[in-house]
Amino acid sequence: MPEDQSIISSETKLNRPESFYIPSLDGIRAVAFALVFISHIYNKNALGGFGVTIFFFLSGYLIVTLLRREAEREGGISLKMFYARRILRIFPPCYLVLALALLLNAIGIVPGVRNHSAVLAEIFYYTNYYEIAGGNTTPKGTAVLWSLAVEEHFYMFFPLLYILLRRLYPRRFDQVAILSGLCAAILIWRLILIIHFQATDTRTNMATDTRFDSILFGCILALYGNPMMDGSRIREQVWKWILLPISIGMLALSLLITKNDIFRETLQYSVQGIALFPVFIAAVRYPRWLVFRALNIRVVRFIGVLSYTLYLVHYIVISTVSHWSHEGALARAMLSLIISLVVAIAIYFLVERPCARLRRYLRSRAPAELPESLASDVYSASRAV
């Protein structure tokens, strides 16, 4: 969700970390947000879950693309700068939205019972496990922060894992094999939880240890067959007319089989993660193809740019509008969308863009780091956190 791209031409190669623009990906963000928004209006959990899975996949893909490019160009990865950029990207909008929600809740505008333990969970990014333990988020609408907790755990640990993989297994094929094994292990863990322990769907849907594979699938694409960095031996027509239709069929089927609890909470996440590979590859390689042109419409792309803040605010707005309004679902949806867009645009210009300029400044001021050992990288990370 919170990954960003500096806007340069679609033909520009990756010259430095976080200085490229991938066509269609902002459009995909917009689609993912639309799925989540519709699910919260009409209580369509399958759609919202799929939207979150797309966000997870995209996070893994973009972050590892940036880490890989930095490692290949600079000879190493600056964890200090990585964490600094993530903090500037994630924390300001998130904490601002949470603070506004708490303030409006205190004066009676935003519904929800104040709960200090819930607020602490939201501040320190363990909302997902807090909700699994039976806690209720507050103010109402901040429940979406569970997915940010999963992503934050990914940002904390995966760069260290990636550095370790690069040192122990320099071949990217071996790195992909290990990450694929982790995806398989997480699927097996979900099966054990559901079949043997009769775990709740909240446990398998929200926990980092059961949803990490949704991000890892994106990481795998970034490492091998990356459409922005690697060539492909598969012909264009095969991607467009065979692999893409198959993947779309798999995604549609995964959304239709929702009554089977075992499939929904175990295999569904894996099927969707695998099926997203051709979608992302085709969208990045062929952005001007008729199927993907809509993703590149300026307004769609701008919604994608706003998607992180929209994701943060939309459910709070929906919950508040539903609390105070008795209009139909469509009227509430339109009002909620308008309010969410206004708030997101304000935060984008007042908070996100200044933070983006600061990230670029830090990047320009930081000397290239060429770590000599894993210990030096871990030391840099400890100083950054």
Tens place of pLDDT per residue across the chain (385 aa): 776 554 323 333 333 334 456 769 999 999 999 999 999 999 999 999 999 999 999 999 999 999 999 999 989 999 999 999 999 999 999 999 999 999 999 999 999 998 999 999 999 999 999 999 999 988 999 999 999 999 999 999 999 999 999 999 999 999 999 999 999 999 999 999 999 999 999 999 999 999 999 999 999 999 999 999 999 999 999 999 999 999 999 999 999 998 888 999 999 999 999 999 999 999 999 999 998 999 999 999 999 999 999 999 999 999 999 999 988 899 999 999 999 999 999 999 999 999 999 988 877 665 444 333 333 333 222 222 2
Structural domain includes residue 12: no
The number of folded domains in the chain is 1
- The alpha carbons of the chain give a radius of gyration, in whole angstroms, of 20
Structural domain includes residue 89: yes
Q: Please report the pLDDT score of residue 327 as a whole number.
A: 87
Structural domain includes residue 3: no
Structural domain includes residue 19: no
Structural domain includes residue 357: yes
Structural domain includes residue 202: yes
Domain that holds residue 131: 25-384
Structural domain includes residue 346: yes
Structural domain includes residue 330: yes
